[in-house]
Amino acid sequence: NAGVTQTPKFRILKIGQSMTLQCTQDMNHNYMYWYRQDPGMGLKLIYYSVGAGITDKGEVPNGYNVSRSTTEDFPLRLELAAPSQTSVYFCASSSPAPNPNTDTQYFGPGTRLTVL
């Protein structure tokens, strides 16, 4: 049971390049999330998904896109990388049943992205 896995661990992009951050969970969780963590700041929610085929914007969605074609995978796409997207990105998952407000989110190890 690997939990939540993310690839790559590190990446350097040039301004305007695109990339996809991969996230996979093997816990059969319905809910999945993408956060970014900037230095000295807490985590900010970028996008989330409550099940395959369903995604919605979080607090800071601009410049990102997501898809959820399977329960296991929740990739995050950066189309035109900008220096402001330099951050550490965390994927998380949770299983909200029976009470969606009390469940615990499980986090992946993160992807450290630098845009130059």
Partner 1 sequence: AQSVAQPEDQVNVAEGNPLTVKCTYSVSGNPYLFWYVQYPNRGLQFLLKYITGDNLVKGSYGFEAEFNKSQTSFHLKKPSALVSDSALYFCAVRDLQAYAGNMLTFGGGTRLMVKP
The 3-state DSSP composition of the chain as helix, strand, coil percent (nearest 5) reads 5, 50, 50
Q: CB–CB of 37/43 below 8 Å?
A: yes
From the list 8, 100, 114, 116, which residue makes contact with partner 1 (rule: CB under 8 A)?
Answer: 100
CB of 22 to partner 1, least distance (A): 15
Q: Does 101 bind partner 1 (CB under 8 A)?
A: yes
Q: Which is nearer to partner 1, 17 or 96 (CB)?
A: 96
The Cα–Cα gap between 20 and 14 comes to 14
Q: Does 108 bind partner 1 (CB under 8 A)?
A: yes
Binding positions for partner 1, 33-72, rule CB under 8 A: 33, 40-45, 48-50, 56, 58-59
